[in-house]
Structures are given as C-alpha cells and as structure tokens.
Amino acid sequence: MQNPLIFVLRTLFDLYVLTLALRLLLQWATVDKRNPLVQFILRVTNPLVVPLQRVLPAMGRLDTATLVALIGLQLAGTALLVRLGCVGEPALWQILALAVLTIVKLGLGVFTWSIIIYVVLSWVSPGGYNPAAAIVAAVVEPVLAPFRRLIPPIGGLDLSPLFALIALQAVTMLLPMERVLAGMLCRSGF
C-alpha cells in the first residue's frame, strides 16, 4: 500500500511538472498565445519561469528558463520523494538519472495521449474548432509528419498515428526506470 503523503506530494509535483513541460512543448510548437488554455498554462507557470527568464535567455525556440525550471523542480521532487519512499541513501547520479528518466517518460506520455486525443477528435469532430483541439493538433502534427512521409494513407485511412503510438511505446519500454529504482531500493511506484 502506498503512503498517502507520498501520493499527495507526488501528485502535486507531477501536475506542476506536467504544466511546465506543456509550457515548454507549446512554445516549441509555436501555439497561439491567445488560446485560453495556453493563457492558463502561462499564468500558472509564470511565478517560477519569469524570474529565470531575466537571467537565462532563450536559445532559438527553446525557452531555457522553462527547461531549467522543469529540470530543477523535477530534481527537487525526485529527491524529496526518494528520501520519503526509498530505503537507504541513493547516490546523486541515481537521483539525477531518475529525474531525467521521469521527464523523458512524461514527454513520451504527453505525446502518446495527445495522439490518442487527436485521433478521437478527428472521429468525433472533424474540421471543428476548439481551443484544446488546436493545441493538440499543433503538438501532434510535427510528430506525425515523419510517419506520414513513410506510410501513405491506405484507402483514405491515415495509419501514421498508429505507427507513432507503437514507436512511442517502444521508446518508453526502453527507458531503464526499473533498473535505476532497483539500485535505490525503491518501490516501483515512481
């Protein structure tokens, strides 16, 4: 059974880290900042990102302040949760590895769920406008483009989301999360 304190802390950290990851992803995908959902994400993350933006300039389309905030918060959350939920004292490299792997897994999960939502929206409301659908399309299109070049539509059916999901799942399975957790004597609830 999972400790309720660890569950609450992990959920709060995960939600804020997800919001920071979405901010980074939406800036990379150049989503319209007037979108109400983008406005929400910006307002929620501004207290942490704006002070860092004064010190860390953006590098092209990569907002380094958001990236540093994302990695810093994930490191802090991982260190706290490892301290509460693991036996023994893990090495610094283990905490760093777990934090980075968690961010990568989160990013892959965001793309996976975005593709699923994109496909469902294409069945339910093809061609309709919705602020959330615009964000999902902006995030998913760059991921699906390489698959669309390799796999042409068959009978008018676009199979690129299916192959993108298979590739994302395969990459997720390659992440050595269990190995890092086993070395720290943690439960696999991370």
On the 0-12 / 13-18 / 19+ scale of CB atoms within 10 A, 115 is buried
Torsion over CA of 92, 176, 4 and 72, rounded to 10 degrees? 40
Strand partners, 28: none
C-alpha of 178 from chain center:
19
**pLDDT score at 1:** 43
pLDDT, one tens digit per residue, over 106-161 is: 999 999 999 999 999 888 877 777 888 888 988 899 999 999 999 888 888 889 99
On the 0-12 / 13-18 / 19+ scale of CB atoms within 10 A, 117 is middle
Average pLDDT over residues 58-74: 89
Q: Average pLDDT over the chain, rounded to whole?
A: 86
Q: How confident is the model at residue 183 (pLDDT cuts 50, 70, 90)?
A: low
CA distances from 135 to 31, 32, 88, 110, 114 (A): 6, 8, 43, 12, 9
CA–CA–CA angle 153, 138, 112 (5° rounding): 70
